[in-house]
Amino acid sequence: MLTRIDHIGIACHDLDATVEFYRATYGFEVFHTEVNEEQGVREAMLKINETSDGGASYLQLLEPTREDSAVGKWLAKNGEGVHHIAFGTADVDAEAAGIRDKGVRVLYDEPRRGSMGSRITFLHPKDCHGVLTELVTSAPVESPEH
């Protein structure tokens, strides 16, 4: 079952300038940053709110680290803007299998590592009314030590 909008991915040319825009305009602060070499992106996650299932909703700002990355190619073709929407689920494997059974192409045979240790896969935009759709199972939240 899909439980929330996990994040909206936004492709940008300059991550630092885009982060500053969202900070200055909306007051959003960076929750997490990382470079994902496999996907060829530098990213910042801006937390918008907590959700009732223990997760959160974010804006994910994506700057390609190389032109041949998926985000780099998309940015060259489309310019800056919304790249994808991601839905949270407790079990990305089961959710992807169920959606595949409904005739939607799942882009990865096995989920891959995503932001903050999550497990992710993508659905083909041509099967989702033109929207690149990501399925996300967040990494377990570690309990604070006492």
Among 7, 39, 63, 95, the one annotated catalytic = 7
Among 39, 43, 83, 95, the one annotated catalytic = 43
129 an active-site residue? Answer: no
Among 39, 83, 95, 134, the one annotated catalytic = 134
DSSP string, 102-134: TTPPBS-SS-EE-GGG-EEEEE-GGGTTT--EE
Whole-Å CA distances, 114 to 16, 43, 95:
21, 11, 16
Neighbours of 19 (CB within 10 A): 20
Among 63, 83, 84, 95, the one annotated catalytic = 84
7 an active-site residue? Answer: yes
84 an active-site residue? Answer: yes
Among 39, 60, 63, 95, the one annotated catalytic = 60
Q: Which residues are catalytic?
A: 7, 43, 60, 84, 134
